[in-house]
Amino acid sequence: MQVMVQILTVLENISRSVAINGLLTWEYMESGVDLNLVSASVQQNPYEIYEKLRSKDPVHRMRLIDAWALVSYEQIDAVLRDQKRFICRDRNIGYSNLRTLLDFDPPQHTRIRSLVSKAFTARALAELEPFIQQTVADLIEQIDNRERFDLIESIAYPLPVLVIAKMLGVPARDIDRFRSWSDMVALDVEPMLRSEDVFSLRQNMNELLEYFEERINEHKLTPQKDILSTLIKAEDDGDRLSHEELLGNLVLLLVAGNETTRNLIGNGMLALLRHPDQLQWLRNNPDRLDSAVRELLRYDSPVQLNSRMAAEDVEIGGKNIRAGAKLILLIGAANRDPEIYSNPNQLDFSEPRKAHLAFGRGIHYCLGSVLATMEARIVFEALMSRFPRIRLASEPVRRKRVALRGLKELWIDTT
């Protein structure tokens, strides 16, 4: 099987690059701009191509993945709020067959969301805060006066995994396995994947599902005070959350909660280190940390895009979009829209900004927004107080991803 995959990969790489170039040329001839979301330069810095799209073709036909890309804040906001004309069902993303909250429209979405929300009440989050504080303190302790450390490896990577593992009742002995499954299944949200990645994604997904089945059985025998027990109870209360829905949403919580929060901590700290004046401002105004985290989410959004499907023929920005067409909503671009934000490419904590779209909008608005913001706030607070001087030690290393934009390494100098 492995050999077969390798042969397929070689053949695929050759035919792929020919096909990709052809489609991109077609796209460019049509609109004066081409958008290749898997190109290395776009993954390094998507903001340049967003600007090009904004000036040349803000409602852009992507021939490569047969979808429409939007960059304007107002248009994306309107699409996300209009759950009748823009739906999630059958939008044809994802390589696994799992259905999660993100794939449902009302009325199923309303029912499942109200059940999953039980795990995110203000009380549940307040109970989690001391655990997050302690975990961050322990992780910083392990850095142990080192002059240089990699923020991703030391804190941004382990913290969200430990938090979600705690919420889902995953025992400490399984954290490493859980961590690697989480990384692999997160590929499910990328708009384009190579066949070897699809193969590996499916293999990891199956292992993870088997693992969740074991945990569910365990929790059924001995209920705990965690999300998993809350969701199992929702499954047991009549036919409200089916077994498939339970499994799908456990995977969603893992994927939605990990890499995104890691990216917020990594991208956020990088932005702070690249703007020493803003970092100093924050040290002088620690009570403004929450609004600073919002600005960091806007400035370099951990999730750069989401998608919808047109349920009927619609017109957006003078373009006719057919029922069934896929829309790629570039929320990372919307968050830098000059129509909405003055100096959008500037990180600026001092001025109140209009609410960003980094957590989405409308009925699918991120369920974990408060949790993620809490984790980032606690990390930034702890790092600023523990290290009076921090600066970038070397150029950061970016992950080769586009939907989930984040860093692989971020070395910090504390001297």
* The token pair that represents 53 in the structure block: 């799209």
> Distance (Å, rounded) from C-alpha 153 to C-alpha 355?
31
> Distance (Å, rounded) from C-alpha 285 to C-alpha 226?
35
* The token pair that represents 107 in the structure block: 């009325």
Question: At closest approach, how far in Å is the CB of 3 from ligand HEM?
Answer: 38
Query: In this chain, which of 164, 170, 282, 289 binds ligand HEM, going by CB under 6 A?
Result: 164
Residues that contact ligand HEM, how many (by CB under 6 A):
23
Residue closer to ligand HEM (CB basis): 165 or 201: 165
- Specify the amino acid at residue 33: V
Query: In this chain, which of 201, 269, 358, 407 binds ligand HEM, going by CB under 6 A?
Result: 358
> Distance (Å, rounded) from C-alpha 407 to C-alpha 189?
17
Q: Which stretch binds ligand HEM (CB under 6 A): 147-155, 275-283, 340-348, 367-375?
A: 367-375
Q: Which stretch binds ligand HEM (CB under 6 A): 1-9, 57-65, 68-76, 365-373?
A: 365-373
Q: Does the footprint of ligand HEM cover residue 303 (CB under 6 A)?
A: yes
Q: Would you give the DSSP letter of residue 99? A: -
* The token pair that represents 139 in the structure block: 């992780």
Query: In this chain, which of 264, 279, 296, 330 binds ligand HEM, going by CB under 6 A?
Result: 264
Q: HSE (CB half, 13 Å, CA atoms) of 168?
A: 30
Question: At closest approach, how far in Å is the CB of 393 from ligand HEM?
Answer: 24
Q: Does the footprint of ligand HEM cover residue 72 (CB under 6 A)?
A: no
Residue 144 CA to chain centroid, in angstroms? Answer: 30
Measured between its terminal Cα atoms, the distance across the chain in Å is 51
Query: In this chain, which of 35, 155, 232, 253 binds ligand HEM, going by CB under 6 A?
Result: 253
Packing angle of the helix pair 369-386, 122-143 (nearest 10 deg): 30
Q: Which stretch binds ligand HEM (CB under 6 A): 3-11, 185-193, 314-322, 356-364?
A: 356-364
Query: In this chain, which of 204, 304, 306, 335 binds ligand HEM, going by CB under 6 A?
Result: 306
For residue 404, list its beta bridge partners. 303
Q: Which stretch binds ligand HEM (CB under 6 A): 55-63, 91-99, 135-143, 366-374?
A: 366-374
Beta-carbon contacts of residue 4 (< 8 Å; ≥ 6 apart): none
Query: In this chain, which of 360, 384, 392, 409 binds ligand HEM, going by CB under 6 A?
Result: 360
Structural contact between residues 409 and 152, judged by C-beta atoms closer than 8 angstroms: yes
Own/partner pairs, 107-113, CB within 8 angstroms, 24+ separation: 109/363, 109/364, 110/363, 111/240, 112/241, 112/245, 112/249, 113/363, 113/367
Question: At closest approach, how far in Å is the CB of 253 from ligand HEM?
Answer: 5
Q: Does the footprint of ligand HEM cover residue 374 (CB under 6 A)?
A: no
Q: Does the footprint of ligand HEM cover residue 113 (CB under 6 A)?
A: yes
Question: At closest approach, how far in Å is the CB of 131 from ligand HEM?
Answer: 14
Question: At closest approach, how far in Å is the CB of 23 from ligand HEM?
Answer: 25
Query: In this chain, which of 31, 182, 204, 260 binds ligand HEM, going by CB under 6 A?
Result: 260
Q: Which stretch binds ligand HEM (CB under 6 A): 10-18, 45-53, 254-262, 382-390?
A: 254-262
> Distance (Å, rounded) from C-alpha 12 to C-alpha 92?
21
Question: At closest approach, how far in Å is the CB of 411 from ligand HEM?
Answer: 22
Query: In this chain, which of 143, 270, 367, 407 binds ligand HEM, going by CB under 6 A?
Result: 367
Structural contact between residues 226 and 75, judged by C-beta atoms closer than 8 angstroms: no
Residue 308 main-chain phi, psi, to 5 deg: -145, 170
Q: Does the footprint of ligand HEM cover residue 403 (CB under 6 A)?
A: no
Q: Would you give the DSSP letter of residue 118? A: G
Structural contact between residues 114 and 212, judged by C-beta atoms closer than 8 angstroms: no
Question: At closest approach, how far in Å is the CB of 145 from ligand HEM?
Answer: 29
* The token pair that represents 60 in the structure block: 């852009």
Question: At closest approach, how far in Å is the CB of 348 from ligand HEM?
Answer: 20
Residue closer to ligand HEM (CB basis): 216 or 366: 366
Question: In terms of Cα–Cα distance, which of 247, 238, 245 is closest to 217?
Answer: 247
Query: In this chain, which of 46, 158, 257, 266 binds ligand HEM, going by CB under 6 A?
Result: 257
> Distance (Å, rounded) from C-alpha 338 to C-alpha 189?
28
- Specify the amino acid at residue 364: H
Q: Which stretch binds ligand HEM (CB under 6 A): 130-138, 206-214, 319-327, 360-368?
A: 360-368
Residues contributing to the site for ligand HEM (CB under 6 A): 101-102, 113, 164, 252-253, 256-257, 260-261, 264, 302-303, 306, 358-360, 364, 366-368, 371-372
